[in-house]
């Protein structure tokens, strides 16, 4: 299967919805549910019909160079897009699942116009008042979700690089807040920072 055929396949869910009368379909995905530090980032994207994004895929399968290129292409081509962050304090207050749901709702609300339908990566959402569907592994099945995946991942990675400048002792630029061996060692040496998720197991004891 060549790239043109693969990208066309990623349009199948959207085309089915368009045949049902939906015109503006938003894809929603997050980055950063698992890390020990930093925000969870959620993006929403509405693409024009049959927009061709060469090499688009689940962001976890893409190199940094490809993600950066696609990030620019998605922003240039999208009818609407938004990126929102839910910080570590809110994650600690409501838990990571509810924080992610909040981010998803806020990302859709932050779009410049309201979509007709929302496709959400994963298997659940709460309090989404627009017609919607959850798609397990949606970032490899829906082009709109895949585009949101790229925006969320690149945006969060760039934000973690800025946090690395504020907290250089933790190595955020390298591991992006995930629980690597080096990160746990830094936590034992320096304790938790203001951007660490205190509700997560930081292995400080």
CB 23 within 8 A of CB 80: no
Q: Where are the domains of the chain?
A: 3-153
Question: Does the pLDDT at position 4 exceed 90?
Answer: no
pLDDT band at residue 2, thresholds of 50, 70 and 90?
confident
pLDDT at 53 (0 to 100): 92
2-11, 21-30, 71-80, 169-178: which range is least confident on average? 2-11
Whether the model clears a pTM of 0.85, i.e. scores above it, the answer is: yes
**Residue 31 C-beta-side C-alpha neighbours within 13 Å:** 27
pLDDT at 205 (0 to 100): 72
Query: CATH assignment of 3-153?
Result: 3.30.420.10
- Tell me which residue of 116, 89, 93 sits closest to 27, measured CA to CA: 116
């Amino acid at each position: 299967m060549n790239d043109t055929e693969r990208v066309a396949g990623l349009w199948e869910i959207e085309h089915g919805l368009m045949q049902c009368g939906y015109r503006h379909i938003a894809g929603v995905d997050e980055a950063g549910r698992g890390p020990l530090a930093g925000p969870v980032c959620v993006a929403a994207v509405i693409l024009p019909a049959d927009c061709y994004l060469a090499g688009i895929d689940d962001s976890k399968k893409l190199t940094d160079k490809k993600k950066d290129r696609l990030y620019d292409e998605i922003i240039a081509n999208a009818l609407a897009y938004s990126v929102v962050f839910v910080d570590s304090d809110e994650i600690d207050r409501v838990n990571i699942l509810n924080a992610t749901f909040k981010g998803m709702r806020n990302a859709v609300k932050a779009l410049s116009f309201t979509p007709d339908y929302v496709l959400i990566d994963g298997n659940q959402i709460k309090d989404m008042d627009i017609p919607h569907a959850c798609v397990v592994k949606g970032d490899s099945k829906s082009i709109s979700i895949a585009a949101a995946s790229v925006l969320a991942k690149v945006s969060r990675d760039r934000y973690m690089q800025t946090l690395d400048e504020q907290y250089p002792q933790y190595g955020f630029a390298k591991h992006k807040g995930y629980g690597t061996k080096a990160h746990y060692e830094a936590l034992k040496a320096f304790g938790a920072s203001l951007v660490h998720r205190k509700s997560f197991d930081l292995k400080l004891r």
